């Protein structure tokens, strides 16, 4: 163990050596909560965004109209409340609320999943709604005009395009969640920040430990960002279309640009 006279790097190496596995476990927990929270939040966002995008007409009868109105109002409240309060406060309210009001002692990790999911869901609901609105209304019209129901048109035509449009925002939310799960330390979830705080507190070496911690956070977010950008590129595919086989030379692949001119053979 380094002494009081030891330098910065000696301490850093010491912490890596003795707390390395713990840091990695903490980082793993962070990633797990961020990923689960983002995915579940995304599903919540899709459901809420879908409900809020249903057109407001009285065609389906009065009961349906008022039920939709009620659902929309409640979902609106949910979104506003969770977007207008810090996640650290939401953590306290949900965790201690569950134990004192509902008499449920949530396991820490589960509490983490729930909090991040609900919080992310609120943000993604608005993003999904924006994504749905960004899809050309002609797509919905064409789907309806050919006989799809509203639900089929949403599922097969509008949502896939909306999701593609919001993919960057979704990735961003994941990155934000990697960083923001650190607030879960207030309810003792053993994610990266919690682990770091304990290690640093034991030796009173806050700078050294949190230097390591920041490096780990940076590596995680940087990798994820790059990876997501690569996925987006991959999904878009090539701008040009290759006609497989021409009539004269069946095996040749001709690249066509959007004007139909051959680029190369």
Partner 1 sequence: MSEENAAILQVHHLSKSFGDHEVLRDVDFAVSRGEVISIIGSSGSGKSTLLRCMNLLEKPTSGEVLFHGENIRTPGFNLQTYRARVGMVFQQFNLFSNMTALENCVVCQMKVLHRSRVQAQNIAMAFLEKVGMSAYVKAKPRQLYGGQKQRVAIARALAMNPEVLLFDEPTSALDPEMVGEVLAVMKDLASSGLTMLVVTHEMGFARDVSDRVVFMDGGVILESGDPEVLFTHPTQARTRDFLARILEN
E strand or H helix that includes residue 262: strand 262-264
Nearer to partner 1, 83 or 156 (CB): 156
Smallest gap from Cβ 186 to partner 1, in A, equals 42
Which stretches of the chain are DSSP H helices?
8-53, 62-83, 87-100, 108-134, 137-145, 150-153, 159-180, 192-203, 206-236
Stretch 177-216 residues interacting with partner 1 (CB under 8 A): none
CA distance 93 to 203: 32
Q: CA 259 to CA 239: how far, in whole Å? A: 12
Residue 138, interface with partner 1 (CB under 8 A)? yes
Q: What does the alpha-carbon distance between residue 10 and residue 16 come to, in Å, rounded to a whole number?
A: 10
Q: Is 164 in the site for partner 1 (CB under 8 A)?
A: yes
Report the nearest approach of partner 1 to the CB of residue 137 (Å). 9
DSSP 145-167: HTT--HHHHIIIIIHHHHHHHHH
List the Cα angle 226/25/223 in 5-degree steps: 5
Choices 24-32, 85-93, 134-142, 184-192; region in contact with partner 1 by CB under 8 A: 134-142
148 binds partner 1, rule: CB under 8 A: yes
What residues have CB less than 8 Å from 193, skipping those under 6 apart? 26, 30, 181, 182, 184, 185, 213
Using CB under 8 A as the criterion, what x/- string covers residues 75-94 for binding partner 1?
--------------------
With respect to partner 1, which residue has the nearer C-beta, 143 or 178?
143
241 lines the binding site for partner 1 (CB under 8 A): yes
> Counting contacts by CB under 8 A, is residue 142 touching partner 1?
yes
The verdict on 101 binding partner 1 (CB under 8 A) reads: no
Q: Does residue 160 bind partner 1 (CB under 8 A)?
A: yes
Q: Write out the residues near partner 1 by the rule CB under 8 A.
A: 59, 136, 138-139, 141-149, 152, 156-157, 160-161, 164, 237, 239-241, 243-244, 256, 258-260
């Amino acid at each position: 163990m380094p002494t009081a006279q030891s330098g910065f790097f000696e301490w850093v190496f010491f912490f890596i050596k003795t707390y390395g596995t713990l840091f990695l476990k903490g980082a793993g927990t962070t990633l797990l909560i961020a990923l689960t929270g983002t995915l579940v939040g995304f599903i919540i966002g899709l459901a809420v965004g879908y409900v809020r995008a249903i057109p407001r007409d009285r065609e389906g009868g009065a009961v349906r109209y008022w039920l939709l109105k009620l659902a929309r109002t409640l979902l609106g409240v949910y979104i506003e409340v969770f977007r207008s309060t810090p996640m650290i406060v939401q953590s306290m309210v949900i965790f201690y609320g569950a134990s004192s009001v509902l008499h449920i002692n949530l396991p820490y990790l589960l509490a983490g999943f729930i909090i991040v999911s609900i919080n992310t869901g609120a943000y993604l609901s608005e993003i999904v709604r924006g994504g749905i609105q960004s899809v050309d209304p002609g797509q919905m019209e064409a789907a309806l005009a050919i006989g799809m129901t509203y639900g089929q048109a949403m599922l097969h035509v509008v949502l896939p395009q909306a999701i593609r449009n919001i993919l960057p925002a979704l990735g961003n939310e994941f990155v934000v969640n990697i960083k923001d799960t650190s607030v879960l330390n207030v309810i003792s979830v053993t994610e990266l920040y919690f682990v770091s705080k304990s290690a640093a507190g034991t030796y009173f070496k806050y700078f050294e430990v949190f230097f390591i911690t920041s490096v780990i956070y940076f590596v995680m977010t940087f990798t994820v960002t790059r990876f997501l950008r690569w996925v987006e590129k991959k999904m878009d595919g090539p701008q040009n279309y290759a006609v497989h086989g021409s009539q004269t030379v069946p095996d040749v692949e001709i690249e066509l640009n959007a004007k139909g001119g051959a680029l190369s053979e």
